Chains A and B, each alone.
Chain A
Amino acid sequence: MTTVLLTDITIFVLALLVGFEVISKVPATLHTPLMSAANSIHGIVLAGAMLIAVTAHDALGYILAFVAAAFAAMNVVGGYVVTGRMLKMFRRSRTPVADATAPAAVSGNGQAPAAGQRGGQS
């Protein structure tokens, strides 16, 4: 067993424990947004999908890179936007009915610069 592998396993186990600790404190009221937020966090696989491109030099590599990037980007962008949209609906007091289908401005805009950045650095 290599040191690298041992380090990876250590990180994995500790992250699991942190996850259990933090998430067990989330109230049942927020379980749907929590799952949606967790959903967007596993969109980090976009990083892995992008790294496929580093070594892709044939058709199979390109196809894998494209599909993986599309899947992961859908996961990450959709996840954050819908979580934001849901959380916006939770209000402390009754307020005039807002348009529930309005786009979630915060996370929606949050993702836009990311796409721009990608283009800029390339």
Chain B
Amino acid sequence: MSAFDWITQLLYVAAATCFVLGLHLMNSPATARRGNQVSTAGMILAVATTLALVAHAGTVTTTGWIVMLAGTLVGSGAGLYAARTVEMTAMPQLVSIFNAVGGGAAALVGIDDYVRLASGGIAESTTVFTILDVLIGAVTFSGSIIAAGKLQGLIDGSPITFPGSRAVNVAAAVIAVGGGIYMIATPSVVVLFIIILAALLFGVTMVLPIGGADMPVVISLLNAFTGTAVAMAGFVIGNWALIIAGALVGASGGILTKLMADAMNRSIRNIIVGGFGTGDSAPAVEGPGGDVRSIQADDAAIQLAYAQKVIIVPGYGLAAAQAQHQVAELASVLEERGVEVSYAIHPVAGRMPGHMNVLLAEANVPYPQLKEMDEINPEFPRTDVALVIGANDVTNPAARRPGNPVSGMPILDVDHAKSIIVIKRSMGHGYAGIDNELYVNPKTSMFFSDAKSALTELTAAVKTLVS
């Protein structure tokens, strides 16, 4: 190894260290920004090192330089624009798009390597990684674009199936894997392009039948895929920085996928392979009947204003109605009166892991008020009012009993509060398709309204009451 190789390899190690440190600093909101800066520094170091490698190789043509720089500038511009203009509610789509381009780029690295070396004979072990890289990258690319389309509403968010869609999905998988195995024995560029098409088709038919409510799991899974594809690209071109960074992302995506699936009481296999019950209209299951008490803004405002401790339980409905600013305003009015307010955040609130926290942070809610499920559950018994906004299944006490679709699902112990106000448009079912026993609890009052207007009314009512 020449001195130059030594230095570049050590610089890559330094960059990888920055990535790990950056992720480590994300363990608290206080240090997270520094973490992002450390990670950015590592990336600049890695890119600069690569640039030195490219220049040192001395084989890059003028066109090569222009193409590389032009591509980088175009991509940087697009990324910068998207990152600065995106609404926080649209974060899941943006993350999906970044997954798509990351996976796509990883696949292209593998394709280039294979096409270039196919004639000269490639080691079998390299071929295995190239195939994995290209397949995972292509699946991530098409799957993430479909996921982003669904989240953005360009593609119907409900599960899309057509006659034979499962067969197409399975056939695509068989062709992709079979072609890949064939390529190990017999290098062929034609087969490479066939398996790329099959993988792209597989990505589309994998995500189309998955319903909107399962998106947090899908995004996490695709994130893990992208990381793995990047790591495989690292194997192909023999670059440790790619291997380490890809493995870190794969681990992160894997953990989040597991957390989301657990929080939704579904197995990952069930979501991806099953594709059943992925709509918002699963068959209804009879719950225990009971009287529903409805309430108006004035009465709800009195309860809230004279409470000592209020816990707000925001769910997907709040994000869908984009009412995070209204809820923050109500909370600040209550706090001015000396009411202790905190937020109970279920892991699947919102459309991606942790989405609700970002939406509330954007609405200027201080992060110490954002409580995780395990942290907030013991606090419900000494809470005067629990205000549930657009959350349904995650508050259903039926989850504590066996024998129903939500059995075993981790829930927020909202029913332990002294009184409960639920803001909801109708008595409609949640994602699991069963009645929510919370709504017929004698302690519960239902405020039938859209989240945004309900919160505006409530805030106005509390203000009138106070003055």
| Chain A residues within 8 Å of B, Cβ to Cβ | 1-2, 4-5, 8, 11-13, 15-20, 22-57, 60-62, 64-95, 97, 100-101, 103-104, 106-108, 110-111, 113-115, 117-119, 121-122
A11, A37, A108 pick with most chain B CB within 10 angstroms: A37
B321 at the A interface (CB under 8 A): no
Shortest distance between the CB of B144 and any CB in chain A (Å): 11
A sample of 16 more A-B contacts (CB under 8 A), given A22-B27, A39-B98, A78-B83, is A19-B247, A28-B357, A30-B357, A35-B220, A38-B223, A41-B23, A57-B64, A70-B74, A78-B78, A84-B37, A92-B366, A103-B84, A107-B37, A110-B44, A111-B76, A115-B73
Q: Which of B22-63 contact A (CB under 8 A)?
A: 22-24, 26-30, 32-33, 35-37, 39-41, 43-44, 46-55, 57, 59-61, 63
By beta carbon, the residue of chain B nearest A50 is B50
B112 touches A64 (CB 8 A): yes
Given that A47-B242, A55-B59 are contacting pairs, would A92 and B75 also be in contact in the complex, using a CB cutoff of 8 Å? no
A86 in contact with B88 (CB, 8 Å): yes
Closest to B79 in A: A78
Residue among A29, A55, A88, A97 with max Cβ neighbours from chain B (10 Å): A29
Given contacts A35-B256, A91-B364, whether A79 and B71 have CB atoms under 8 Å apart is no
A55 contacts across to B, CB distance below 8 A: 59, 112, 116
Chain B interface, >50% SS class: helix
**Are A81 and B109 in contact, CB atoms less than 8 angstroms apart?**
no
Residue of A nearest to B123 (CB): A2
Q: List 24 A-B contacts (CB under 8 A).
A: A2-B125, A15-B231, A16-B248, A16-B250, A18-B248, A28-B354, A32-B350, A32-B355, A36-B98, A38-B223, A50-B72, A52-B108, A52-B109, A68-B104, A70-B71, A72-B75, A74-B78, A86-B361, A91-B361, A91-B366, A94-B365, A103-B84, A118-B69, A122-B65
The residues in B between 199 and 242 inclusive whose CB is less than 8 angstroms from any CB of A are 219-220, 223, 226-227, 230-231, 233-235, 237-242
Majority secondary structure of chain A interface residues (helix, strand, loop or mixed): helix
B183 at the interface (CB under 8 A from A): no
* CA distance in complex: A102, B233 (Å): 35
Q: From residue 113 to 135 of chain B, which have CB atoms closer than 8 A to chain A?
A: 115-116, 123, 125
Task: Using A34-B26, A35-B252, A71-B104 as known contacts, say yes or no to A76 and B71 having CB atoms under 8 A apart.
Answer: no
Residues of chain B within 8 A (CB-CB) of A35 are: 95, 219-220, 223, 252-253, 256, 352-354
Contact A56 B67 (CB under 8 A): yes
